[in-house]
A and B are shown apart, each in its own frame.
Chain A
Amino acid sequence: MPNGTVSVIKIRDILLVTVPSDPDDITVSELQEQVLYAMERHSAKGLILDISTVETVDSFFARTISETVKMVALMGGLSVLSGMRACVAVTTTQLGLTFEQTLTALDVDRAMDMLSVAMDDKGDSA
C-alpha cells in the first residue's frame, strides 16, 4: 500500500481501516474524519484500526487514535486497535502513552472475534 493511503473496507457491520506504515500528520488527521464519516455512511457498529504495519507511534498519532475511538463510541460504535508491533508497544509505553479505554487485539482475526462477541451481547440484552 502506498504510504499515506488509508484503506477502509466494510465487512458486515464492521469497518476495517488499515493505517499506512508511516503516515504524515495530515494523513492521520484526515483518517479520523474519514473513519467517522464512513461509520455514519455504512451504519457500522464496529471499527478495527489495523496498525500492524505502523512503525512509529508518537504522541500526536496516539492522541488522534484515542480521540477517534472516543468519537466512534459517541456514535454508538465499538473500536478495536489491532496489531500493534512489539517494538511500538515498548516505545509508546515508555513514552507515557496509555491508550486507556481502548480495546486491543493481536491481529485483525482476533479483533473481528472480539467485535462479533461484543456486538452479539449488545443485541441479546436489547
Chain B
Amino acid sequence: MNTLCQGEMLIDTENDIVMARKSVREAAVTLGFGVTDVTRIVTAASELTRNIYVYAGSGIMRWHSINDSNVGLELVFEDKGPGIIDVKLAMEPGYSTGKGLGMGLPGTKRLMDEMDVLSEIGKGTTIRIRKWLRQ
C-alpha cells in the first residue's frame, strides 16, 4: 500500500495549535500508526506549534509521509522568528526563556525517532521530526 499524505498549515493563532493537532492526528492515523504513537506524534506537534505561536508569533507546519524502504511521517515546523539563542541549552529539560516547563523540545526528541533543529538568531527556526511506522 502506498499511502501518500501531505499538507501544510499556517500557525498564527492559539486555535491553530488545536487545528494542527487534528491534522497531525488524522495523518498519523491514516498512515496506520498505533494509538500510542499517534499520541506521541500529536503531542510533539502540540509542543512545537505552541513554540512557534509563543516565541515566533507565526510560522508554518508541513507534514508528509515517507515511503522509501522505511515508512513514516515527517513534520516540519518553520518560523521566521527570533531564533533559539542556544540550541544545545534549549534541548535540556527544564530550560525555558518563557514561563514554560522547558520540556517541549527535549520531550519531543524523546517522543520521536528523529529530530533536527536548525536555528539562526534573528532569522528563524526550522525543526524537522520523524516517526517510523516500523523500523
Q: Could you mark each residue 77-120 of chain A with 1 if its beta carbon is under 8 Å from any beta carbon of chain B, else 0?
A: 00000000011101110111100000000000000000000000
Say whether B50 contacts A95, CB under 8 Å.
no
Q: Does B107 contact A (CB under 8 A)?
A: yes
Q: Could you mark each residue 27-68 of chain B with 1 if its beta carbon is under 8 Å from any beta carbon of chain A, else 0?
A: 000000001101110110011001000000000000000000
Say whether A59 contacts B111, CB under 8 Å.
no
Given A87-B38, A87-B39, A95-B43, residue A56 in contact with residue B103 (CB < 8 A): no
Given A22-B22, A24-B18, A57-B43, residue A91 in contact with residue B103 (CB < 8 A): no
Say whether A25 contacts B17, CB under 8 Å.
yes
Q: How far is the CA of A20 from the CA of B35 in the complex (A)?
A: 19
B: number of interface residues (CB 8 Å): 27
Nearest CB of chain B from residue A82's CB, rounded to whole Å: 18
Q: B: which residues have CB within 8 A of A?
A: 14-15, 17-18, 21-22, 25, 35-36, 38-40, 42-43, 46-47, 50, 93, 100-101, 103-104, 106-108, 110-111
- Could you list 25 examples of A-B contacts with CB < 8 Å? A22-B22, A23-B18, A24-B14, A24-B17, A24-B18, A25-B17, A26-B14, A55-B39, A56-B21, A56-B39, A58-B43, A58-B47, A59-B47, A59-B104, A60-B46, A60-B100, A86-B36, A91-B40, A94-B110, A95-B103, A95-B111, A96-B106, A97-B101, A97-B103, A97-B107
